[in-house]
A and B are shown apart, each in its own frame.
Chain A
Amino acid sequence: MNDFRIPLGSWADDFIAFVTDNFSFLFDFVRTIFDGAYEFVDLVLASPPFWVIILVAAALGLMVRGWKFAVGAVIGLIVIVGVDQWQNAMDSLALVLVASVLAILVSIPLGILAAKSALASKIIRPILDFMQTMPAFVYLIPALILFRVGVVPGIVATIIFAMAPGVRLTELGIRSVDHEVVEAGEAFGASPARILRQIQLPLAMPTVMAGINQVIMLSLSMVVIAGMVGAGGLGQQVLASLSRIDVSLGFEAGLAVVILAIFLDRMTASLGTGITPIGRLLAGRKHRRQAAAVAAESPISAPVADVKTPQPAGV
Chain B
Amino acid sequence: MTQIVAEHAQEFAASAEHTASTSPAPEIAVKADHLYKAFGRRPHDIVKKLEGGASREDLAHLGTAAVIDASFEVRRGEIFVVMGLSGSGKSTLIRMLNGLLEATSGTVTVGDTRITGLPAAKLRDVRRRSVSMVFQHFALLPHRSVIDNVAYGLEVQGMPRAERLAKARTIIRLVGLDGWADSMPSELSGGMQQRVGLGRALAADTDVLLMDEAFSALDPLIRREMQEQLIELQAELGKTIIFITHDLNEAMFLGDRIAVMRDGRIVQIGTPEDILTDPANDYVAQFVQDVDRARVLTAGSVMEPVRSMVTVTSGPRAALRTMRDLQTSATFVVGRDLGFVGVVRDRDVLKQVKASHPDLRPIIKEATAVSADTALVDLVELAVESDLPIAVVDARNRLLGVIPRVTLLAALGNVTTATGEVPVTEPPSTISLRVITETLRETALEGAQL
What are the residues of chain A within 8 A of B133 when measuring CB–CB? Answer: 184, 187-188
Partner of B202, one of A190, A203, A290, A315: A315
Asked whether A198 and B141 contact (CB < 8 A) given A190-B124, A297-B179, the answer is: yes
A310 to B175, CA, bound (A): 7
Q: Closest residue of chain A to B183, judged by CB?
A: A290
What are the residues of chain A within 8 A of B132 when measuring CB–CB? Answer: 187-188
A185 to B236, CA, bound (A): 27
A191 to B157, CA, bound (A): 11
Partner of B178, one of A187, A289, A303: A303
B192 at interface, CB cutoff 8 A:
yes
A199 at interface, CB cutoff 8 A:
yes
Instruction: Evaluate contact between B182 and A203: CB separation under 8 angstroms.
Output: no
Instruction: Evaluate contact between A299 and B180: CB separation under 8 angstroms.
Output: yes
What are the residues of chain B within 8 A of A311 when measuring CB–CB? Answer: 173-174
What are the residues of chain B within 8 A of A183 when measuring CB–CB? Answer: 100, 135, 139
A312 at interface, CB cutoff 8 A:
yes
Asked whether A293 and B173 contact (CB < 8 A) given A188-B156, A310-B236, the answer is: no
What are the residues of chain B within 8 A of A187 when measuring CB–CB? Answer: 98, 100, 127, 131-133, 135, 210
Describe A's contact surface by its main secondary structure.
helix
The smallest beta-carbon distance between B217 and chain A, in angstroms, is 11
The smallest beta-carbon distance between B304 and chain A, in angstroms, is 35
The smallest beta-carbon distance between B126 and chain A, in angstroms, is 8
A125 at interface, CB cutoff 8 A:
no
B136 at interface, CB cutoff 8 A:
yes
A138 at interface, CB cutoff 8 A:
no
Instruction: Evaluate contact between A186 and B174: CB separation under 8 angstroms.
Output: no
A313 at interface, CB cutoff 8 A:
yes
The smallest beta-carbon distance between A75 and chain B, in angstroms, is 36
What are the residues of chain B within 8 A of A120 when measuring CB–CB? Answer: none
Q: List A residues 259-306 near B (Cβ within 8 Å).
A: 286, 289-290, 293-294, 296-297, 299, 302-306
Instruction: Evaluate contact between B205 and A304: CB separation under 8 angstroms.
Output: no
- Chain B interface, number of residues (Cβ within 8 angstroms): 50
A307 to B223, CA, bound (A): 12
Q: Closest residue of chain A to B154, judged by CB?
A: A188
What are the residues of chain B within 8 A of A296 when measuring CB–CB? Answer: 179
Instruction: Evaluate contact between A310 and B233: CB separation under 8 angstroms.
Output: yes
Q: Closest residue of chain B to A187, judged by CB?
A: B133
Asked whether A304 and B174 contact (CB < 8 A) given A184-B135, A187-B127, the answer is: no
Interface string of B195-232 (1 = CB under 8 A from A): 10000101011000010000000000000010011001
Instruction: Evaluate contact between B139 and A178: CB separation under 8 angstroms.
Output: yes
What are the residues of chain B within 8 A of A315 when measuring CB–CB? Answer: 170-171, 174, 202, 205, 237
Q: List A residues 170-229 near B (Cβ within 8 Å).
A: 178, 180-181, 183-191, 194, 198-199, 202-203
A310 to B139, CA, bound (A): 24
A314 at interface, CB cutoff 8 A:
yes
B137 at interface, CB cutoff 8 A:
yes
What are the residues of chain B within 8 A of A307 when measuring CB–CB? Answer: 176, 225, 228-229
What are the residues of chain B within 8 A of A186 when measuring CB–CB? Answer: 100, 127
The smallest beta-carbon distance between B329 and chain A, in angstroms, is 43
B36 at interface, CB cutoff 8 A:
no
Q: Closest residue of chain B to A312, judged by CB?
A: B236
B152 at interface, CB cutoff 8 A:
yes
Instruction: Evaluate contact between A190 and B156: CB separation under 8 angstroms.
Output: yes
What are the residues of chain A within 8 A of B62 when measuring CB–CB? Answer: none
Q: Closest residue of chain A to B98, judged by CB?
A: A187
Instruction: Evaluate contact between A313 and B173: CB separation under 8 angstroms.
Output: yes
The smallest beta-carbon distance between B58 and chain A, in angstroms, is 29
**Most chain B beta-carbon contacts within 10 A, residue among A293, A303, A306:** A303
A310 to B236, CA, bound (A): 9
Instruction: Evaluate contact between B136 and A180: CB separation under 8 angstroms.
Output: yes
Instruction: Evaluate contact between A181 and B141: CB separation under 8 angstroms.
Output: yes
Asked whether A188 and B204 contact (CB < 8 A) given A302-B178, A304-B176, the answer is: yes
Instruction: Evaluate contact between B176 and A188: CB separation under 8 angstroms.
Output: no
Instruction: Evaluate contact between A189 and B128: CB separation under 8 angstroms.
Output: yes
Q: List B residues 119-175 near A (Cβ within 8 Å).
A: 124-129, 131-133, 135-137, 139-143, 152-153, 156-157, 170-171, 173-175
What are 7 A-B contacts defined by CB distance under 8 Å? A187-B133, A187-B135, A190-B156, A294-B179, A303-B195, A305-B176, A315-B171
10 extra interchain contacts, Cβ-Cβ under 8 A, other than A181-B140, A189-B157, A307-B225? A178-B137, A181-B141, A188-B127, A188-B204, A294-B179, A306-B173, A307-B228, A314-B170, A315-B202, A315-B205
Interface, chain A (partner B; CB < 8 A): 178, 180-181, 183-191, 194, 198-199, 202-203, 286, 289-290, 293-294, 296-297, 299, 302-307, 310-315
